[in-house]
C-alpha cells in the first residue's frame, strides 16, 4: 500500500473541559478498515527519533530543548510494554520528507504548508497498512519556547508539548475533539497538566501493553473464566510480550506467535459464543479440548469475523458438552499484538452440573492418626471418593474419613460429584503419612553393683591404709 501522511495538530486554546473518570482515549486508525478500524501502531521493538532542537542548557528548568524532549520520551517509555522510544541528538536543522529518519525539529512551516494561527506543533506520520513506518514532529518556530513545570506561562513548555506529540507518534488522538471530557495530556488544548495522566497511559498500553509477559501466556497457566449470573463474561488482557509454545497449534490456520490462554468448564450443555470485538489488533481465535498444548483437539477457530465489511476481530460459536474443559487461545494474525477484549456468552439448554465451592485440602498425619477430606458442592446429589485413581468402596459422602492411618493410605485423593446433568472431579488432595517418633532412650542406671567408672578418693584412701597395714605386718 502507498504510504500516507497524517498531519496531527496541537492547538493553543484557552481553558479545559471538566474532567470525568471514564476512559476517553481515542486513536488514529487505519481508515481502509470500514468495519473495525484498528489503531496505527509501530511493530514491537523500538522506534528511534533524532532530536535536532538545540543543546544549549538555558531553559527555566535547567535543560536544553534536546534534553527536555528526551525526558518526555522517557516518561512514555516507563509505561510501554513492547515498544521503546530511543533518542539521539543531532545538529539543529530542518526535517526531510524524503529520508527514513524520525526527526524533531523547529520549523517555519509544515513541509511547505503554513502553520495556522493556533498551531504550535504538528506530528506527521507515514504508515503501511496497520503499521507505522515513519514520523516527524515539527515545532512552530514563530512561537516562544521554554521548558518548565506547573501552570502555563507566556512561553510554551516544550516538554508537555513533546509529551503530547509523542502520544500522536505512538498512535493516540485527541479525546476532547472526539466529544470526551477527561484530564489528559492528549487533549488538544495546552493546560497546566505537565505529565501523563491515567487516560494517556491506559490508551498507550492498549496498543503496546504494559511491561512483562502476560500471566496467561502458557497453556498450563490458562486464566479461569467465571461467568456472571446471566452466563456472560467480558475479560480484558494483552498479548503483548506473549510467546508461542513448542507444539502449539496454529490458531485459525495462522502461525501467529503471541498467544494467551483461558480455560472454562461447561456447567451444562448449550451453545457458546466467543468474540474479540473491542480488541486493538488483528486477532485469531481457537477453542480446544485436551490436557497438553501439543495434543489438543480443535473445536472451533476464526480469523476475521467478516470480510465485507472488514472486521478483523474474531468470533466462534460451538455447542458445549456438560463437564468438558475448554481451552480458548487468542493470538494475533502474523503475530500482531495489543490489548484485547474477550466477550463470552453461554446459553444452557439442560440442567446445570454441580459447582464445587470448596475443594479438598492436602494433609499430613502420623501413622495411627485420623484424617478427613471434605468437599462442598452446590447442586450435587452424589459423591464418589477415589484413591490414586480408583474408587473407594463406601466413600460416597461429602466427607471421607480414615480413622487409623497406615503408610498404605499415603497418596492422592479426589471426589467426583454428580447430579442429573453429569459429573465433575475435584482438585487432587495429597495425604502424606509420617512414621511415629522413636521412643526416648531409657535413663542410665544409678545404683546396684557392678559397673565401671572412676574410683572415688575414699577408695584410694582405703587402699593406701590397707597397704600400710600390710607393710607393718611384714615388718614384725
Task: Pick the range with the lowest mean pLDDT from 181-185, 194-198, 209-213, 248-252.
Answer: 181-185
Q: pLDDT-based confidence at 415, cuts 50/70/90?
A: very high
- The conformational region for residue 34 under phi > 0 = left, psi -120 to 50 = alpha, else beta, is alpha
Q: 332-365 pLDDT, tens per residue?
A: 999 999 999 999 999 999 888 888 899 999 999 9
Pick the CATH number of 355-434 from 3.40.50.880, 2.40.160.20, 3.30.559.10, 2.60.40.10: 2.60.40.10
Round the average pLDDT of the chain to a whole number and report it. 87
> Could you tell me the pTM of the whole model?
0.74
Taking the C-alpha atoms of residue 191 and residue 15, their distance in angstroms, rounded to an integer, is 7
Q: Are strands 119-128 and 131-140 parallel, antiparallel or unpaired?
A: antiparallel
Smallest Cα–Cα separation from 20: which of 150, 165, 172, 187? Answer: 187
Domain ranges of the chain: 4-208, 219-346, 355-434
pLDDT, mean of residues 185-208:
94
pLDDT value of position 402: 97
pLDDT value of position 15: 27
Which residues fall within 8 angstroms of residue 7, CB to CB, at 6 or more apart? 110, 122, 123, 124
User: Is 50 exceeded by the pLDDT of residue 192?
Assistant: yes
pLDDT value of position 31: 59
Pick the CATH number of 219-346 from 3.20.20.140, 2.60.120.380, 3.40.50.920, 3.30.460.80: 2.60.120.380
Longest CA span, the chain: 147
Q: pLDDT-based confidence at 212, cuts 50/70/90?
A: very high
pLDDT, mean of residues 388-405:
96
User: Is 70 exceeded by the pLDDT of residue 6?
Assistant: no
Q: Are 433 and 407 in contact (CB under 8 A)?
A: yes
Which residues fall within 8 angstroms of residue 10, CB to CB, at 6 or more apart? 119, 120, 121, 122, 161, 164, 165, 188, 190
pLDDT value of position 1: 29
State which fold the 4-208 domain adopts. Collagenase (Catalytic Domain) (3.40.390)
% of the chain surpassing 70 pLDDT: 86
Q: 220-241 pLDDT, tens per residue?
A: 999 999 999 999 999 999 999 9
User: Is 70 exceeded by the pLDDT of residue 209?
Assistant: yes
Q: Cell numbers at residue 181, please?
A: 471530557
Amino acid at each position: 500500500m502507498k504510504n500516507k501522511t497524517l498531519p496531527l495538530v496541537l492547538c493553543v486554546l484557552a481553558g479545559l473541559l471538566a474532567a470525568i473518570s471514564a476512559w476517553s482515549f481515542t486513536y488514529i486508525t487505519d481508515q481502509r478498515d470500514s468495519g473495525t478500524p484498528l489503531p496505527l501502531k509501530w511493530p514491537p521493538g523500538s522506534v528511534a527519533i533524532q532530536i535536532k532542537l538545540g543543546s544549549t542548557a538555558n531553559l527555566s528548568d535547567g535543560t536544553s530543548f534536546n534534553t527536555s524532549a528526551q525526558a518526555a520520551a522517557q516518561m512514555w517509555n516507563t509505561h510501554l510494554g513492547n515498544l521503546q522510544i530511543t533518542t539521539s541528538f543531532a545538529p539543529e536543522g530542518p526535517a526531510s520528507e524524503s529520508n527514513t529518519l524520525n526527526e524533531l525539529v523547529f520549523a517555519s512551516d509544515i513541509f511547505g504548508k503554513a502553520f495556522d494561527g493556533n498551531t504550535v506543533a504538528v506530528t506527521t506520520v507515514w504508515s503501511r497498512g496497520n503499521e507505522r513506518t515513519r514520523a516527524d514532529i515539527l515545532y512552530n518556530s514563530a512561537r516562544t519556547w521554554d521548558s518548565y513545570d506547573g501552570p502555563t506561562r507566556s512561553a510554551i513548555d516544550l516538554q508537555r508539548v513533546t509529551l503530547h506529540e509523542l502520544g500522536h507518534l505512538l498512535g493516540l488522538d485527541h479525546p476532547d475533539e472526539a466529544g470526551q471530557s477527561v484530564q489528559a495530556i492528549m487533549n488538544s488544548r495546552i493546560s497546566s497538566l505537565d505529565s501523563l495522566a491515567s487516560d494517556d497511559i491506559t490508551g498507550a498500553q492498549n496498543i503496546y501493553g504494559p511491561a512483562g509477559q502476560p500471566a496467561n501466556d502458557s497453556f498450563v497457566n490458562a486464566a479461569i473464566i467465571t461467568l456472571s449470573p446471566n452466563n456472560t463474561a467480558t475479560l480484558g488482557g494483552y498479548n503483548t510480550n506473549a510467546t508461542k509454545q513448542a507444539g502449539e497449534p496454529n490458531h485459525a490456520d495462522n502461525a501467529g506467535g503471541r498467544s494467551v490462554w483461558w480455560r472454562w468448564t461447561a456447567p451444562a450443555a448449550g451453545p457458546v459464543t466467543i468474540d474479540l470485538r473491542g480488541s486493538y489488533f488483528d486477532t485469531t481465535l481457537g477453542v480446544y479440548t485436551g490436557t497438553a498444548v501439543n495434543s489438543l483437539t480443535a473445536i472451533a477457530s476464526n480469523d476475521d469475523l467478516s470480510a465485507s465489511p472488514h472486521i478483523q476481530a474474531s468470533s466462534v460459536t460451538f455447542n458445549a458438552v456438560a463437564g468438558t474443559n475448554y481451552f480458548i487461545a487468542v493470538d494475533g494474525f502474523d503475530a500482531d499484538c495489543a490489548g484485547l477484549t474477550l466477550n463470552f456468552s453461554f446459553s444452557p439448554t439442560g440442567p446445570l452440573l454441580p459447582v464445587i465451592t470448596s475443594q479438598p485440602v492436602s494433609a499430613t498425619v502420623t501413622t495411627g492418626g485420623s484424617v478427613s477430606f471434605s468437599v462442598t458442592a452446590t447442586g450435587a446429589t452424589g459423591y464418589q471418593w477415589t484413591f490414586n485413581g480408583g474408587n473407594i468402596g463406601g466413600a460416597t459422602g461429602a466427607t471421607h474419613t480414615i480413622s487409623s492411618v497406615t503408610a498404605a493410605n499415603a497418596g492422592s485423593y479426589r471426589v467426583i460429584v454428580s447430579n442429573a446433568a453429569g459429573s465433575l472431579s475435584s482438585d487432587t488432595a495429597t495425604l502424606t503419612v509420617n512414621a511415629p517418633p522413636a521412643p526416648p532412650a531409657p535413663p542410665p542406671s544409678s545404683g546396684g553393683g557392678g559397673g565401671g567408672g572412676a574410683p572415688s578418693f575414699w577408695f584410694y584412701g582405703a587402699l593406701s591404709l590397707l597397704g600400710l597395714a600390710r607393710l607393718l605386718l611384714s615388718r614384725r
